[in-house]
Amino acid sequence: MIPEDKKIIDFHLQEYRRTGATGYHRKQYRRLIDIIDDILEHEPKCHKIIHIGRRQIIGYWERTKTESKNARLEKWRILCLFFEKSEQKTPPKPKV
C-alpha cells in the first residue's frame, strides 16, 4: 500500500478510531488495511485505493471463502463504513 492510500484511510476513519470501543476499532482498522493490501496485491488492474470497486471486493470475498461467517460480516461492516465515509457505493455483502 502506498502512503497516500494510508492517508486516505486515516482521514476517513479518524473519527471512528477516536470514539467507542478502542480495542475493537483498532482490530477493525487493521482488518481494513489487510483487506485493501490483499486486494491491491491480487487484482491486476488495481494499483491505488481509488481503483477498488465492486469487482475487486467480490474477488476478495471469493478468495476468503474459508473464513468464518462472523469474521466476514465484521470485515464487511468496516468496508461499509469506509465506503460510506469516502462517499462511494456500498460494497457487496459476502455470501455466507
Assess if residue 56 is contained within a domain. yes
Q: What value does the mean pLDDT of the chain take?
A: 87
At residue 48, the pLDDT reads 85
Assess if residue 39 is contained within a domain. yes
Cell numbers for 87, please give them: 462517499
- Other C-beta atoms closer than 10 Å to the C-beta of 13 total 19
Question: What range does the domain containing 22 cover?
Answer: 3-85
Cell numbers for 59, please give them: 474477488
Number of domains in the chain: 1
| pLDDT tens by residue, 39-69 | 999 988 888 888 888 899 999 999 999 999 9
Q: In 3D, which of 16, 83, 72 has the Cα closest to residue 49?
A: 83
Q: How much of the chain exceeds pLDDT 90, in percent?
A: 41
Above 80 in pLDDT, residue 27?
yes
Assess if residue 14 is contained within a domain. yes
Residue 45, amino acid = K
